[in-house]
Amino acid sequence: MDVRVELRGLVKSVAVHAGDTVAKGQIIAELSQPGLQEEIDAAIARESQARADLQTLQGGGPSAETAEIDASVNRLKSDRAAAQKTLESLQRLQQKQAATAFEVDQARQAVQSIDVQIQGLEHRRGAIVGTGDLAAAKAKLEEAAASVRLAKSHTVQGVITAPMAGTIYDLPARAGAFLNPGDPVASIGILNPARVRVYVDEPELGRVSPGESVRITWDALPGKEWNGIVEKRPSEVISLGTRQVGEVLCTIDNAARALVPGTNINAFILTQVVNNALTIPKEAVRRDNGIGVFVLQPDSTVKWQQVRTGASDALRVEVVSGLKDGDQVAEPTDATLKNGMKVLIPGT
């Protein structure tokens, strides 16, 4: 499994080495992201401002404006009290015919005018903070808080951890390197047992069954072999170059972890054991007119000979009938062979 970065940044440190065994969640590397701390500080500042704005609205609005309204209301209440006393005095004088109805009416209108002014200020106080204002302030605070969480999550993403337990078999990340989103940091896999994909030619798939023995060799380590078993037969046949093959999954004992992912190996699946078998190279078998081979004749010509094949491995195939021990067969060449064609044998 490839581990890749989600954000751009400078590799601050690498905590593992190639070949290390790691647990799920273990830190592999840390990124230093330019400007990230400034982004977090700015987001926190916006959240603090949004919270303060909401608290101001919940308290009735800006303190300076509400204080001005309170002072005006208190002054008008004092004026009303005085106007009310004047009205009551004139009403008593009117009863004694010492004041006119016009004077009483004027005093009553003065009281009513002050009441109207007080009601206007109270309405203004209520209009400072409306339901929509509170909803907008709450939404702004939610948005600011989300920005803080997002900025802090980038810090978490800067710590690269192992998504699974396994062995680090590739580690391209280096301290000081700059990585962009999607760049690989490491590759992790389970190396023992190893899972090997073996491409088997379609005609031979019928002989492959789960549980059969498998032998693996690797050209990079000549003389060394790995053993295992067939785990699963293919579910389909695919094209591989000019071949029709099935992908057979095998489980291989890789205790020393010398067989690493991505290698091209040679696989031998033991489906049948034949003692004293007559075998020829697989490449010599042709399927032009049935299954056969071109056999070299004493007069340096080739003769088409049909054969019946049996067991085979990756390189050679058993000939059940059609040939005898000592016959020489032609392997593939650039020239198209025909029955009776005279050929030149190298070295003669």
- pLDDT in tens for each of the 348 residues of the chain? 888 988 788 888 899 998 888 999 999 998 876 655 667 677 788 888 888 877 776 766 555 566 677 788 889 899 899 989 998 998 988 888 888 888 888 989 989 999 888 888 877 766 665 555 667 778 887 887 888 777 666 555 578 889 999 888 889 988 888 888 889 999 998 888 988 999 998 988 888 999 999 999 999 999 999 999 999 999 899 998 888 999 999 999 998 888 888 889 999 888 878 888 999 999 999 987 789 999 999 999 999 999 999 887 768 899 999 999 999 999 988 888 999 999 887 765
Query: Can you give the pLDDT at residue 206?
Result: 87
The upper half-sphere exposure of residue 277, i.e. CA atoms within 13 Å in the direction of its Cβ, equals 18
How far is residue 22's CA from residue 187's CA, in Å, rounded to a whole number? Answer: 11
Domain finish residue from 221, 242, 270: 270
Residue 135 lies in a domain: no
Residue 265 lies in a domain: yes
Query: Can you give the pLDDT at residue 37?
Result: 64
**337 and 313 inside one domain:** yes
How far is residue 158's CA from residue 185's CA, in Å, rounded to a whole number? Answer: 12
**293 and 320 inside one domain:** yes
How far is residue 207's CA from residue 230's CA, in Å, rounded to a whole number? Answer: 12
**250 and 299 inside one domain:** no
Query: Can you give the pLDDT at residue 333?
Result: 83
Residue for token pair 């695919």: 238
What are the backbone angles phi and psi of residue 72, rounded to the nearest 5°? -65, -40
Domain finish residue from 270, 292, 322: 270
**259 and 284 inside one domain:** no
**311 and 340 inside one domain:** yes
- Its pTM stands at 0.45
Alpha-helical regions (H) of the chain: 36-58, 63-95, 101-128, 131-157
Q: What is the CATH number of the domain that holds 283?
A: 2.40.420.20
Residue 226 lies in a domain: yes
Residue 316 lies in a domain: yes
Task: Report DSSP letters for 307-337, one per residue.
Answer: -EEEEE-SSEEEEEES--TT--BPPP-SSPP
Residue 120 lies in a domain: no
Q: What is the CATH number of the domain that holds 243?
A: 2.40.30.170
**195 and 257 inside one domain:** yes
Tokens of 234: 């293919």
* Domain residue limits at 340: 274-348
Total domains present in the chain: 2
Residue 25 lies in a domain: no
Query: Can you give the pLDDT at residue 260?
Result: 83
Q: In what order do the strands lie in the sheet with 316-321?
A: 279-281, 316-321, 308-312
Residue 318 lies in a domain: yes
Residue 13 lies in a domain: no
**265 and 327 inside one domain:** no
CA dihedral 189, 194, 200, 205 (to 10 degrees): -120
**281 and 345 inside one domain:** yes
Query: Can you give the pLDDT at residue 60?
Result: 60
Domain finish residue from 270, 285, 305: 270
**247 and 318 inside one domain:** no
Tokens of 99: 């004041």
**343 and 295 inside one domain:** yes
Are 161 and 14 spatial neighbours (Cβ–Cβ below 8 Å)? no
**226 and 243 inside one domain:** yes
**201 and 265 inside one domain:** yes
